[in-house]
Structure 1
């Protein structure tokens, strides 16, 4: 989690002013307790802005157990479990040793997806005049309110479809 003395992370994402090409930046989203991407215009903005997702996570961490690394634990009483893989942005199986480990461990794929897919990283997004469509390789969101989006998870059948970003002028 972000340091308590760092009040900048309570600020919303601020795309600033366009003085160069838009670039993807990251901010700590207090509403979901994780780092999320946004388009930065190159000038102004606020202090809740990081150049990379990793920089954001190192500074702020994540409130969700889903972002913990996979940990098999220290024992040898192995059973098949599920964890959220932040690299693949999906739930994957692993052999859990039966003791220790961390909270990024689920009995079923459904349990993992129900918690972690709604909190997972969003790697690309499009902003249009009336709606924003967020997507990555495994999930899609349609957001009708650009200020505080209320998003609906789409079916995963759209996997690996990519779009180019467009911006309102």
Structure 2
């Protein structure tokens, strides 16, 4: 219980070094390296664009690489051009697992009634079945322990793997953080910040004073609060809307001042 508590605190703080040290010191086995890639824990993200590209992502529920439709922009790194690329990055190697572990359970042709165990490739667990006593296949073990040792990934290993993936998955961010930087339509040069979804950073840019989109913040701190740490529906949301309205009023004044000389010339 003490280990789980310490792990929980370390993971919530995204402190991977502490997590690894805790597991090493206590002698607990580490999760498989390939499933440990944080990008493999991300959900399939088609992105905001409307194109249709067939891509592959790693599904942590089925622990398989699956196909999905990608919109063509943004999204996340759990996005692979080929099935092989996805498998090489995320799926656990099965080179140490005999081929017969993937055979279906086979009671054989005889009429005996013996309790045996087989590895279920769908549930990834060793399960009991009734064996007739002759023929069948090699996915047939006299004890649960023998089956698990030969074919099954240890339960603690799987538990720690999903513990890592579920807690380290980054929080969802609002759609405004995925929109591209937009300077707007006017001619002013106000220093603002926008969230670059590709790099995960808040970057400065020159805002023209009117138009643009909501990916527009008066400070780096407000940008990080909304987009980097997840959307908080409180004063932060109202502040963004208030700033946007205020700048619209200023942009109207600028346009009126610029239009006066033109009227005088006429």
| TM-score (norm: length of structure 1) | 0.45
Larger Rg: 1 or 2? 2
| TM-score (norm: length of structure 2) | 0.30
Higher relative contact order (CA 8 A, sep 6+): 1
Choose between structure 1 and 2: higher strand proportion: 1
Choose between structure 1 and 2: higher helix proportion: 2
